[in-house]
Structures are given as structure tokens and as C-alpha cells.
Structure 1
Amino acid sequence: MLSKGFEIEIYTSTPEGDIVGLSDKIVATLDGFVREPDSRNVEYTTPPCYRYERLLCDLVRPRARLREYLKRLGNFTLTPGSTLALGHTDRFYRSDPANPYHSYIEQTYGTRVVTASVHINVGIADPELLLRACRLIRVEAPLFLALSASSPFLNGAVTGYHSTRWGLFPKTPAHVPLFESHAHFIHWTEQQLAAGTMQNVRHLWSSVRPNGDRRPYSLNRLELRICDLVSDPISLLAIAALLEARLLQVLDDPDLDPLHRSQLSATTRAEDLITLTDANEIAASRLSLDAELNHWQDGSPVQARVWIEQLYQEVWDVAKRQGFSCFLLPLKKILREGNEAQRWLKLYHQGLDVRQVVQQAIRETEAQELALQDSLCQPLVA
């Protein structure tokens, strides 16, 4: 098995769903939380871990601590979803006014980046194997977006996206190639820094990127960045299990590399794969599991839900041999009942307004986390 960890960005709010900026207080008081450029969300990171049972508690415990602290501050809670669903996108609420990088982000992107998401990090020590893995996950990243979409609302309205976050997010630089080797990644990154299209090595905002302690030279993990915030920890572990099983496959089988396996034109394959994948990301951001995508192997049309089901069947034996196939099972429920965005839109079309949908999601998420804390994790220490 591979080591795994999550970066979780989440909004703080009132129980009525109004987002409130509290990250300065949270970061000053609670260990393990860091600020984002806007004060209305806060981030915590789980330590690298191999076992899914441990990962579940690592996801739940910090949120339980955060909820307890928010109650001490006042009548505050956490809001699921990945966009400012009820509004206030007109201005930035700076968490660190003296930070020049935050100033650049605010001035360049505005509130398009005031989103909440999940980044899944998976350890891969060999840089060439890591870049091969990044190539496969890059072309299949739209499937992970389809499973995780949770942002159908913005400013109190339905947007037409299932993932408004990814539909509007300023992917940076605008064009990111399919890196053919570690040397290619190093050279390209140095070019971007020199040209100013990246302000620093962190300023690579694509669906997936190689990561490490001294980027781009020292790399040790794949970071999947495309997922919306998945409020259900069980569902998030299922998505991570699909990712890990797929990575185990490509690490074991060099022929899974899209630069080798794809039947697209050999002379333009690398660029054609990026064009196809970019279009798939747009389609998945709009219709998630119901989106019609084009398969990277031959360009054939396939519904996202069908493609995910095919991958599920393909990776099952890999996950079973490694002892984590049971954590794949919740994917069946997502495919059957829909992701968060689809479930929320169903409630909206049944007559609830956006605020009512958000409020119900807040209550359900808190109840689920408390149940998991009580049944699976050690009692919260005050």
C-alpha cells in the first residue's frame, strides 16, 4: 500500500449558512490548522498514513476539535460545499494582509479562489514513476471531479455547474503539459518562474501535480487537486481508495502510461491528450457523473458514471490483494444516489431554496461526524 494524506479546506459559518471569517482566531488557538488567503475558510492536513481505518479518524478528529472551538467562540459551525453558496463574492476578506503572495492572489484572481476543496496526496518516491503516475491521473482526473462535485450554488443561485468551483477556478498556468519526465518538469517549472507565469513553485494550480519538499527537484508524492470538498469521510476514503488502486496499477504496468497506451496520433499525442482532458474537465464540472467524456485511450465517448464503473471493476482485484477493497464499496452508493451536488440539486428541484439546502447539509454533516467520532474514534480530549 501507498502512504496517503489529505489537505482539507473548509468554510466556517453560522448554522444558517452564512460564511464567517474566523481563520485568524482558529490558527492562533488550535494546532494543526493553517490559514488560506481569505479568512472564511481554514485548512488542516492529515499526516501520511497507510491504513484507511487510521485515515478515517485523522479526518474526523480535527473537525471535532474545530467544532468544539467554534462553539466556544459563538454560534458557529462548518459548512459543506466548495463555493460561497449564499454569496458575498464581492470582496476578499484577507487573512494575512501583510502577505505579498496573498496580495497577488487577491489582485489577480479575486474571489474565484475563495473555494474549499480536498487535495489527496499519495507517496511515490521515485520521480520517474511519480511522473508516469501523474500522467495517468491527469487524464483520469475528471472522473474524480465527477465523484466529488459539491458546488452547484453560488451567490444564492443555481449556477449550471455541479462543480462551480472547478468551472470557475483559474487553473494556472493556463497550459500545463503532460510531463514526459522529471527533467521535463524541472525545465518547464524553471521556465514558468522566469517568465512570471508562476510566482513560486506552489503556484501550479492544475488538476494533479508532482509534489515534494523541494519542488521541482526533490519530489515524493502525487497531489490530486481537482476534488471538491467531500464532507462524508467514508465517501472521501472511497475516492482515495480508487486513486490508490489506480496508482498501484500504473506503477506496476508501464504500458498504462497514456503516452504509450493512447491510440491518439503518435505525432501529436501529448498535446491531444491535454486538449481531450481539458474538455473532459469542463464537461465533468458541469454534469459530473452524467457528463459525456471522451476516453483518453481512443477518444471514444463514454459517460463518466460508466467509465468509473469500469475502473471500479478493473481495480477491484488490486485493492483486494492489498486488503482495502472494502473501502471501495461506497463508490457504488455515489454512483447510484449521486454525489453531493446532485443530491442537493434534487432537493432544490423538489422545492427547497438554496439556503434551506445548505442548512440541511450543515445539520446532516455535523450529525454524521459526531456519529463517526463516537463509534470509530477515541473520545475527544478537551
Structure 2
Amino acid sequence: MSLLSKGFEVEMYTGTPDGKIIGLSDKIVQALDGFVREPDSRNVEYTTAPFCGYDRLLCALLKPRKTLRTYLQTLGDYTLIPGSTMSLGGSDRFYRSDPNNPYHSYIEQTYGTSVVTASIHINVGISDPEILMQACRLVRVEAPLYLALSASSPFIDGQVTGDHSTRWQMFPKTPQNVPLFDSHSHFIRWTEEQLAAKTMRNVRHLWSSVRPNGDRRPYNLNRLELRICDLVVDPLALLAITALLEARIMQMMANPELDPLQQSRLSTNDLAADLVALTDENETAAARNSLDAELRHWQDGRKITARDWIDEIYAQVYPIAQKRGFSCFLSPLKKILRQGSTAQQWLKLHRQGMELSAIIQQDIQNIARQERDLEYALCQPALIA
């Protein structure tokens, strides 16, 4: 089995080195290729081309950021801001990036600033629609683990919220009830029903933790899109999370019985509905406490922390990653499990007496330094030719 193709949609805030978020996306998208605006001007998105190899994927993550940082300096003393919510302020109003866009008007009027978040969407290429649906089922019930690893939004408007992923707690999951799709035809039928009922405005208006994606949804599909992750600014950490996702999907492909609708031993009259309810509870718990969250396992309902569950899966998939040659990119996961999610690290600094603004400012500098070091060490043309 060759490596699967992988790509990212990266949403990031722009602002000043002191952590104030400033809307610049209208200028960015006019000046730079490859960047698109979000409804609010304070975050901007870029998408990487799909690559199978992790070395190319790393460079695809870094190069647009270098371009963006260079351009931001032409506008003033601007930089990229970590975190998935407006940590130090600004959630009281919406700053439209395109006032004449009717869909943006709908977003602002319906959801307000609850959607003005930054995140990472991880896309994994799967061409067979039925295997894709099975992967979506498995990743859906394990999506809380990826949220636990990536949680990076414990602050909003200068306050500690009590959640590790404030973004996912407040983000408007739409439609409210999304089933486990038992087949491609089920997904087609359900999507058509949602569009007719206007619970979805268009085929893109499926804002769940994971969704099938493709060039002509819901009919032509070619990838799984994991949408639950908070912004992961550390490229090596992001690749580790991606490697876990890919290795888990590879494990499923080699063992077709690894399917929640077949393998769950929950005693229930409606297994699919109960798996969704269990997963929703796990998502809430992971958003609250990330790696320390107590979850219920989809296979048998037992209680287990997110950290221990990830450790179990890591042990299962590491040999797969090793055999396929990408275990070195999976290994940094152990560091995340030891040190905690970004949210946990920030909250630890805050408990030690560090001001929220100082925490964000320190990470702004750390990210820029790490990107420069990685780009210099790994992404020179001779190394990726």
C-alpha cells in the first residue's frame, strides 16, 4: 500500500506582535496567489496541494507562510497570531472581508463571531467512495482524539474560558444532527434531503467534525476532510497528527472489519444513533479538557482518557508507519502526549503567573523562529528536487 495523498486548509489570524488581531485578508488575497478570504477579514486561509510524502508536505506548509510574513511586513509591523479564538479581544463585532457577498451576510447574521475562528482541516485522499465512507465512520468516532491533540483555544477576549478548545465548544456544528453514513448512497440521499429542507444552504454547509469531500459533492468524492482540529501552528506537530490519521486509515484498509457499525460491542437498539451520541459527548469532553478528558470508547463503552486512548492507537499503528517509511513523522506525537496540548501548555504558564498577553506574544515569536529554522534546514530547493 502506497502512502495516501494529504493536504491542508490552514486558517490563521493576522495581527501585531503584541497579539492584537487585525483584519488584512482583503489586501492579502489581492496581492498573493493561493490565499482566500474568510467572511471576517481577521483570518485568512491557504490550501496546500496534495502530496503523499511528508517532506514535501512540510515545505508546502511553510512556504506560503514565509510569503505571507514577507508581505505582511510591507503593510506594517504585522505577523501571524497563534490560537483558534480571539484570545486577547475582538469577539464583540464582525469585520466583513467582502461586504457585497450574500453568503457572508448569511454567515454574519446567522452565526456572528462564533465562526471567526482559526483551524486546520486535514484532507486525506481516498478514491473508493465506500472505503471513504467507512473511513469517515471510523474517524468520526475518533475525532475527539484529534481535537484533544490540537486544542489551542483556552482564552477569548483576555479571559480564561474553562475550555481547552473554546473554538469547538462554540462553533455552530451544522446541521445539528449528522448521522454515521452507512454507504455513499446514504450520504447522497441525506445531503439532498438537507438541501431541500434548507438545513444546509449549499453542499459546503456541512460543518461537522469530519466529512466526505470531492469536486462534486455529494456525488463525486475523493477525500476525507477532518475539520475538528484547532489551529496547530507547529508544523512538526501537525504532521504527527496527520501521520496518526493516515496510519489509522491504513490500518482500517488492511482490516476491513475495523468499522464502528460492525465492530462496536455496545448493547443498543440503534447502534448508529448511539455511536453519534457517544461521540458528541466525547467531543464536548475533549473540548473541555483535551488530553486529560475522560472519554467513552466506541468499541465497548469503557471509560478511558484521551491520552491513554491515543497511546493505544499509537502502539497499533506505529508498525504500519514504520513499514511505510513515515514513522519519524509520527514520533513527535509522544512529545505532545508528554507536554500536553497547546491549550494545556498555555494554561500551565497562566497558573504559574504569566499574563495572557505575554503567553500569546511569546508563542508569536516562537512560531516565527521555528518556521525560519525549519524552512532553512529542510526546504531548500536541492532537498526537494
Is this contact kept in 1: 2:98–2:104, CA < 8 A?
yes
Q: Offset of 1:362 from its aligned partner?
A: 0.5
Is this contact kept in 1: 2:268–2:274, CA < 8 A?
no
Is this contact kept in 1: 2:48–2:60, CA < 8 A?
yes
Partner of 2:119: 117
Q: Offset of 1:117 from its aligned partner?
A: 0.2
Instruction: Tell me, in whole angstroms, the C-alpha distance in 2 between the residues paired with 1:152 and 1:361.
Output: 14
Q: Which amino acid aligns with 1:92?
A: F
SS in 2 for 1:256: coil
Instruction: Tell me, in whole angstroms, the C-alpha distance in 1 between the residues paired with 2:94 and 2:217.
Output: 29
Q: Which amino acid aligns with 1:362?
A: I
Equivalent residue runs for 1:192-231 within 5 Å? 192-231=194-233
Unaligned runs of 5+ in 2: none
Partner of 2:238: 236
Counterpart pick for 2:363 among 354, 361, 364: 361
SS in 2 for 1:254: coil
Partner of 1:56: 58
Partner of 1:44: 46
For each residue in 1:155-203, what CA deviation from the matched residue of structure 2 results, as whole angstroms up to 9, or x when unmatched?
A: 1000000000001110000010000100000000000000010000000
For each residue in 1:348-378, what CA deviation from the matched residue of structure 2 results, as whole angstroms up to 9, or x when unmatched?
A: 1111111111111101111111111111112
Q: Offset of 1:98 from its aligned partner?
A: 1.1
2:279 is the counterpart of 1:277: yes
Partner of 1:181: 183
Given the two structures, how large is their TM-score scaled by the length of structure 2? Answer: 0.98
Instruction: Tell me, in whole angstroms, the C-alpha distance in 2 between the residues paired with 1:135 and 1:247.
Output: 11
Counterpart pick for 1:263 among 235, 242, 265: 265
Structure 1 residue runs of 4 or more that deviate by more than 4 Å after TM superposition: none
Instruction: Tell me, in whole angstroms, the C-alpha distance in 2 between the residues paired with 1:82 and 1:355.
Output: 15
2:97 is the counterpart of 1:95: yes
For each residue in 1:230-253, what CA deviation from the matched residue of structure 2 results, as whole angstroms up to 9, or x when unmatched?
A: 010000000000000001111222
Given the two structures, how large is their TM-score scaled by the length of structure 1? Answer: 0.98
Equivalent residue runs for 1:64-103 within 5 Å? 64-103=66-105
Q: Which amino acid aligns with 1:191?
A: E
Partner of 1:307: 309
| Fraction of identical pairs, as percent | 68
Partner of 2:174: 172
Which moves more between the two structures, 347-356 or 108-117?
347-356
2:181 is the counterpart of 1:151: no
Q: Which amino acid aligns with 1:65?
A: T
Unaligned runs of 5+ in 1: none
Partner of 1:14: 16
SS in 2 for 1:332: helix
Q: Offset of 1:114 from its aligned partner?
A: 0.1
For each residue in 1:111-161, what CA deviation from the matched residue of structure 2 results, as whole angstroms up to 9, or x when unmatched?
A: 000000000000000100000000000000000000000000001000000
For each residue in 1:28-48, what CA deviation from the matched residue of structure 2 results, as whole angstroms up to 9, or x when unmatched?
A: 001110000100000000000
Partner of 1:334: 336
For each residue in 1:203-255, what CA deviation from the matched residue of structure 2 results, as whole angstroms up to 9, or x when unmatched?
A: 00000000000000000000000000001000000000000000111122221
Instruction: Tell me, in whole angstroms, the C-alpha distance in 2 between the residues paired with 1:339 and 1:275.
Output: 25
Q: Which amino acid aligns with 2:21?
A: I
Q: Which amino acid aligns with 1:83?
A: T
RMSD (Å) for aligned C-alpha atoms: 0.7
Counterpart pick for 1:142 among 141, 144, 161: 144
Q: Offset of 1:90 from its aligned partner?
A: 1.1
Instruction: Tell me, in whole angstroms, the C-alpha distance in 2 between the residues paired with 1:374 and 1:219.
Output: 37
Instruction: Tell me, in whole angstroms, the C-alpha distance in 1 between the residues paired with 2:346 and 2:374.
Output: 22
